[in-house]
Structure 1
Amino acid sequence: MHCPNPVREKLCGENCRTKRSRRAQLMSELASKIQGARHSPGPAEMLEVAPNVHWARIPLAGKLNHINVWLLQDADGFTLVDTGMNTQEARDAWGALMAQMPNGMRIKRVIVTHLHPDHVGLAGWLMESGAEEFWMTRTEYHTCQTMISHAEDDQTPDDFRAFQIAAGWSDDAIQGYLDHYPNYGKRIYRLPRSYRRLEEGQCHQFGGHEWKVIIGSGHSPEHACLYSEKSGLFISGDQVLPGISSNVSVTPLEPNANPMEDWLASLRKLKNEVPDDVLVLPAHQRCFEGLHARIDSLLHSQEQAFNRLRNALLEGPKRVVDLFEVIFGRHINHDHFMIFNLATGEALACLNYLISEGTVGFSVDARGAHWYGLR
Structure 2
Amino acid sequence: MQPEPETLRFPFAEPPPFGEPVPVAPGILWLRLPLPYALDHVNLYLLEDGDGWALFDTGLGDERSRTLWAAVLAGALGGRPITRIVVSHCHPDHVGLAGWFDERFAPPVHMTEAEYLTTRVYRQDTDDERSRAAVARFYRSCGLGEDAVAGLLGRGLRYLTQTTGLPPAFEPLVAGRTLRLGGRDWRILTGGGHSPDQAMLWCEADGLFLAADQVLERISPNVSVQPMQPNADPLSQYRDSLRELMETIPPNTLVLPSHRRPFLGLHQRARELDAHHEDRCARIAAACRPAPLTCAQVVPVIFHRALDSHQLGFAVGEALAHLNHMIANGVLAVETGKDGIHTYRTL
Normalised by the shorter chain, which TM-score bucket? over 0.9
Aligned to 1:71: 46
| SS of aligned partner of 2:268 | helix
Change (3 A) 1:185 1:214: same
SS at match of 1:135: strand
1:259-299 deviations in whole A, cap 9, x for unaligned?
Answer: 00000000000010011000000000110110000001111
Partners of 1:98 and 1:46 in 2: CA distance:
11
Extract unaligned runs of 5+ from structure 1.
1-30
Question: Which residue identity is paired with 1:117?
Answer: P
1:85-123, Cα deviation, whole Å (9 max, x unpaired)? 110001111111111244431111111000000000101
| Alignment TM-score, normalising by the size of structure 1 | 0.87
Is residue 2:139 matched to residue 1:187?
no
CA distances 1:300-330 after superposition (whole Å, capped 9, x unpaired): 11111111111111111000011122222x1
SS at 1:245's partner residue? Answer: coil
Query: Is contact 2:59-2:96 (8 Å) kept?
Result: yes
Any idea what SS the aligned residue of 1:126 has? helix
Separation (CA, whole Å) in 2 of partners of 1:103 and 1:280: 27
Are residues 1:132 and 2:107 paired? yes
SS at match of 2:124: helix
Give the Cα–Cα distance (whole angstroms) in 2 for the partners of residues 339 and 169 of structure 1: 14
Partners of 1:38 and 1:301 in 2: CA distance: 25
Conserved 8 A contact 1:165-1:367? no
Q: Does residue 301 of structure 1 match 2:276? A: yes
What amino acid is the match of 1:363? E
Select the structure of larger CA radius of gyration.
Answer: 1
Please list every run of at least 4 consecutive aligned residues from structure 1 whose deviation after the TM superposition is greater than 6 angstroms: none
Q: Assess if the C-alpha contact under 8 Å between 2:110 and 2:171 holds in 1.
A: yes
Write the distance in 1 (CA, Å) between the matches of 2:234 and 2:51: 40
- The question of whether the paired residues in 2 share the 8 Å contact of 1:70 and 1:80 is answered with yes
- Whether 1:369 and 2:331 are equivalent positions in the alignment is no
Could you tell me how far apart the structure 1 residues matched to 2:77 and 2:137 are?
53
Bigger relative CO (Cα 8 Å, ≥ 6 apart): 2
Q: How much is the aligned-residue C-alpha RMSD, in angstroms?
A: 1.6
Farther-moved stretch of structure 1 (98-107 vs 287-296): 98-107
Instruction: Confirm whether residue 360 of structure 1 aligns to residue 314 of structure 2.
Output: no
- Counterparts of 1:70-109 in structure 2 under 5 Å? 70-109=45-84
Contact conserved, 2:136 with 2:153, CA < 8 A, in 1?
A: no
Q: SS at 2:30's partner residue?
A: strand
Q: TM-score, normalised to structure 2's length?
A: 0.94
Question: Hey, what does 2:5 align to over in structure 1?
Answer: none
1:200 aligned residue: 175
Query: Quick one: distance in 2 between partners of 1:93 and 1:154?
Result: 38
What corresponds to 1:19 in structure 2? none
Q: Does 1:58 align with 2:30?
A: no
Q: In the alignment, residue 309 of structure 2 is paired with which amino acid? A: F
Taking every aligned residue pair, what percent have the same amino acid on both sides?
A: 37
* Structure 2 unaligned spans of 5+: 1-8
In the alignment of these two chains, the number of paired residues is: 339
Question: Partner residue of 2:309?
Answer: 337
Letter in 2 for 1:280: V
Match of 2:288 among 313, 318, 332: 313
Q: Answer 1 or 2: which has greater helix percent.
A: 1
- 1:332 CA drift (Å): 4.0
Question: Residue 145 of structure 1: SS of its match in structure 2?
Answer: helix
2:226 is the alignment partner of 1:251? yes
Would you say the 8 A contact 2:152–2:310 is kept in 1? no
